[in-house]
Amino acid sequence: MPEREVLFLLDAHGAVLWSDVGTPGSLPDSRERWDAIWLRRVRLEEIAHSHPHGPLGFSSMDRTTMATIDAALGRELRYLVVAPEGTLACRAGVVEVVEPEPPWAARLRAESGMLRRQT
């Protein structure tokens, strides 16, 4: 399977409410994704996406999108990025390493065509 970025919308229990697939280096903006976020806004607690080639960090585009979503929803979600080296979470600008990883992280890696790399 070729590597590609994948996005999950998650509820408070880690259940995947909706998913989307991009290219190896990005998740191009889409009306369908914004509609999915809005339609699931009551149950939506987290948004996770993969960086199959790294880095283990949030890009400036990620941060802009996160701020836009929080402003639209009127509350702060938890955002996660999954890379070969691990998983990071961010809420209200505070970034932390997620260890152990949530159960859905293995599925996100698989759908991204990415292997977990031990550091």
**The overall pTM is greater than 0.85:** yes
CATH architecture of 6-112: 3-Layer(aba) Sandwich (3.40)
Sheet of 94-97, strands arranged across: 16-21, 6-10, 46-50, 78-83, 86-91, 94-97
Q: What is the pLDDT of residues 91-111, one digit of tens each?
A: 999 999 999 999 999 999 999
Q: What is the pLDDT of residues 25-70, one digit of tens each?
A: 888 889 999 999 999 999 999 999 999 988 999 999 999 999 999 9
pLDDT at residue 67 in the model: 97
Q: Provide the CB-side half-sphere exposure for 86 (13 A, CA).
A: 11
